[in-house]
């Protein structure tokens, strides 16, 4: 989809507001262009040496016309302000809705926070759209109506209109695409600079050493140079367009003054008509100048729309569909048939033809060396990843991609790269889920040994957690993650190295609780902690993406 098409679709959502702006702009343009006619009549009265009621009425009408143009502009400002608010609200909810649902493949080579930064382009769309609708609509209408009005004075002015339209067409035809391309490239490197600054801030301790610090600056220098290169190219396009306008203005102004003067001397036009025609011509030239200068705003808006479009075009999972079987009333049996998975940048399968059945209540330990596929297997079974081929069954029903979100409502997941978000500890545990009771919260905190820690916090559960939980130890963060996973008492727990940062004693207490018979949930865990192996009643060994051993054991924890 082209940027222009995206922008059109954006405006189409609020077409009633846009139509109102056009209507007000049309009235404003008509009034503005009628003012020269009033001035022409006033000049004629003055030439005749007459001071009459008609002369005073004309002055009053012209003055009221100026006031009316101002009022119409104010009404347009109110509409565009409403439009800006709608754009911001719509864009924020679009991002909030899509970011959690973007597919793994779409995000594979992307950094999610960097994608979220694209939201700032909404500000450019807000301001730019308002300016375009106000200035562009008024300018276009003034040009069109002005050319029609000029043609009534003398046929010569029709030639002026033709030359003007040819000039505008040439500017748009031969420089618009280049201007848009350089604007997109400039914006691309702008985000690369911001992304690199984020990387420096995120790894600031790594860049303290002189060599590392110099590397950070040198890379920033290269990115900034690329940005400046395309910024300069884009400015050259704008400069060329404006230079063409200057040449046009000089030639047209000189030509019209000469021709207009000749027509007056030849008595084919009176002095009042000449003054009125020159005012209209100046209005038209100023409107054309607004159009040319406004191209920079148009480029900015189209670039911003395209950047946001890159996010909204990413594949998402519509994961709200409810499967045929009611998972809330029965236990979950997980089964796979010839399940394979391949990462987007790989030329071979990471998971190869897995056939597996996990019955309700099993505690499954997934083992294997690095790159054996154990983590990928856990993520496939949890629904975080979707198989490249093969099938996953839930209670003998095929789990479709559109149903994965519903399935996740009955599972708990702790991933190695999980982190906390900015908000209270209570919000991080419950996400303000009204179904989670105080008893559930106390039970989860007791289970992972967080009760004492929470009591020591100045505001208890209302204590604000910083992004990533920076002021907390990794051990405490892992406990919060486990408490979050179990607080809704899920049917299946998927765990990736859930206790690796804890001291052995605390880890064993949590593991014993999770695998205890009083908890009927199924557990599928991958870990290097041998205690998990002893605690679970089934072991699956992975090697090179395949199951090499699958045995049931008797837990001796």
pLDDT in tens, 475-526: 999 999 999 999 999 999 999 999 998 999 999 999 999 999 999 999 999 9
> Distance between CA 419 and CA 268 in Å, rounded?
81
pLDDT in tens, 286-328: 777 777 777 888 889 999 999 888 888 888 876 555 555 555 5
Token pair 């679009």 is at which residue?
94
Written as six digits, the tokens of 85 are 């608010």
How far, in whole angstroms, is CA 228 from its chain's centroid?
A: 24
Query: Coil, strand or helix: which one is 6?
Result: helix
Instruction: For residue 557, name the pLDDT band (cuts at 50, 70, 90).
Output: very low
Number of residues in the chain = 557
Closest CA to 365 of 489, 496, 544: 496
Written as six digits, the tokens of 210 are 């002189």
The predicted pLDDT at position 44 comes to 66
Q: What is the mean pLDDT of the chain?
A: 84
- What DSSP state is assigned to residue 347? S
Task: Average the pLDDT over 69-89 and give the result.
Answer: 86
Task: Give one word for 497, left, alpha or beta, with left for phi > 0 and alpha for psi -120 to 50.
Answer: left
- pLDDT tops 50 at residue 178: yes
Q: Alpha helix (H) ranges present in 3-155?
A: 3-12, 15-47, 53-98, 104-107, 112-116, 121-131, 137-153
Structural domains in the chain? 3-312 (1.20.1560.10), 334-552 (3.40.50.300)
C-beta separation of 138 from 203 below 8 A: no
Q: Which residues contact 157 (CB under 8 A, 6 or more apart)?
A: 147, 150, 151, 277
CA 90, 91, 94, 96 torsion: positive or negative? negative
> Distance between CA 496 and CA 6 in Å, rounded?
41
How far, in whole angstroms, is CA 413 from its chain's centroid?
A: 27
Rg for the chain (alpha carbons), in Å?
35
Written as six digits, the tokens of 437 are 């009771």
Q: What is the CB-side half-sphere exposure of residue 174 using CA atoms within 13 A?
A: 9
How far, in whole angstroms, is CA 284 from its chain's centroid?
A: 38
The predicted pLDDT at position 402 comes to 52
- What DSSP state is assigned to residue 489? -
Token pair 């081929």 is at which residue?
389
pLDDT in tens, 186-220: 998 998 998 899 889 888 888 988 899 999 999 99
What element of type H or E holds 470?
A: none
The predicted pLDDT at position 232 comes to 94
Closest CA to 452 of 518, 531, 490, 506: 506
């Amino acid at each position: 989809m082209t940027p222009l098409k995206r922008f059109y679709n954006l405006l189409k959502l609020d077409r009633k507001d846009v139509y109102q702006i056009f209507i007000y702009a049309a009235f404003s343009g008509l009034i503005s262009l009628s003012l020269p006619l009033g001035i022409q009549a006033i000049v004629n009265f003055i030439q005749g040496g007459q001071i009459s009621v008609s002369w005073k009425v004309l002055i009053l009408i012209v003055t009221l016309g100026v006031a009316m143009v101002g009022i119409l502009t104010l009404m347009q400002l109110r509409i565009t302000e409403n439009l800006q608010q709608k754009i911001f609200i719509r864009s924020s909810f679009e991002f909030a809705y899509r970011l959690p649902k973007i597919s793994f493949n779409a995000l594979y080579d992307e950094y999610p926070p960097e994608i979220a930064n694209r939201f700032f382009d909404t500000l450019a769309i807000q301001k730019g759209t308002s300016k375009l609708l106000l200035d562009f609509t008024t300018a276009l209408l003034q040009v069109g109506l002005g050319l029609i009005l000029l043609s009534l004075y003398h046929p010569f002015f029709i030639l002026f209109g033709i030359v003007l339209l040819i000039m505008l067409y040439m500017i748009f035809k031969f420089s618009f695409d280049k201007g848009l391309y350089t604007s997109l490239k400039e914006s691309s490197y702008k985000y690369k600079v911001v992304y690199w600054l984020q990387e420096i801030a995120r790894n600031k301790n790594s860049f303290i050493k002189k060599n590392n610090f110099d590397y950070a600056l040198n890379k920033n220098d290269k990115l900034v140079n690329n940005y400046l290169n395309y910024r300069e190219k884009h400015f050259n396009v704008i400069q060329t367009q404006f230079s063409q306008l200057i040449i046009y203005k000089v030639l047209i102004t000189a030509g019209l003054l000469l021709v207009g003067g000749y027509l007056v001397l030849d008595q084919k036009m009176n002095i009042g008509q000449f003054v009125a025609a020159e005012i209209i011509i100046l209005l038209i030239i100023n409107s054309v100048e607004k159009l040319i200068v406004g191209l920079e705003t148009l480029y900015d808006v189209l670039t911003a729309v395209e950047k946001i479009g890159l996010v909204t075009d990413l594949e998402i999972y519509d994961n709200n569909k409810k499967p045929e079987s009611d998972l809330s009333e029965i236990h979950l049996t997980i089964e796979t048939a010839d399940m394979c998975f391949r990462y987007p940048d790989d030329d071979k399968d990471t998971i190869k033809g897995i056939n597996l059945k996990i019955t309700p209540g099993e505690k499954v330990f997934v083992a294997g060396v690095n790159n054996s596929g154990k983590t990928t297997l856990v993520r496939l079974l949890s629904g975080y990843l979707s198989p490249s081929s093969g099938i996953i069954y839930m209670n003998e029903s095929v789990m479709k991609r559109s149903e994965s979100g519903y399935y996740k409502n009955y599972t708990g997941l702790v991933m190695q790269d999980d982190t906390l978000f900015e908000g209270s500890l209570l919000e991080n545990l419950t996400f303000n889920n009204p179904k989670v009771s105080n008893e559930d919260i106390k039970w989860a905190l007791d289970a992972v040994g967080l009760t004492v820690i929470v009591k020591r916090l100045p505001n208890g559960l209302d204590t604000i957690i910083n992004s990533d939980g920076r002021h907390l130890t990794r051990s405490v963060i892992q406990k919060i993650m486990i408490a979050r996973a179990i607080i809704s008492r899920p049917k299946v727990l998927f765990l990736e190295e859930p206790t690796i940062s804890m001291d052995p004693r605390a880890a064993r207490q949590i593991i014993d609780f999770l695998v205890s018979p009083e908890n009927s949930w199924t557990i599928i865990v991958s870990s290097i902690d041998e205690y998990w192996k002893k605690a679970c009643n089934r072991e699956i060994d992975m090697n090179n993406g395949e199951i090499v051993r699958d045995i049931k054991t008797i837990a001796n924890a």
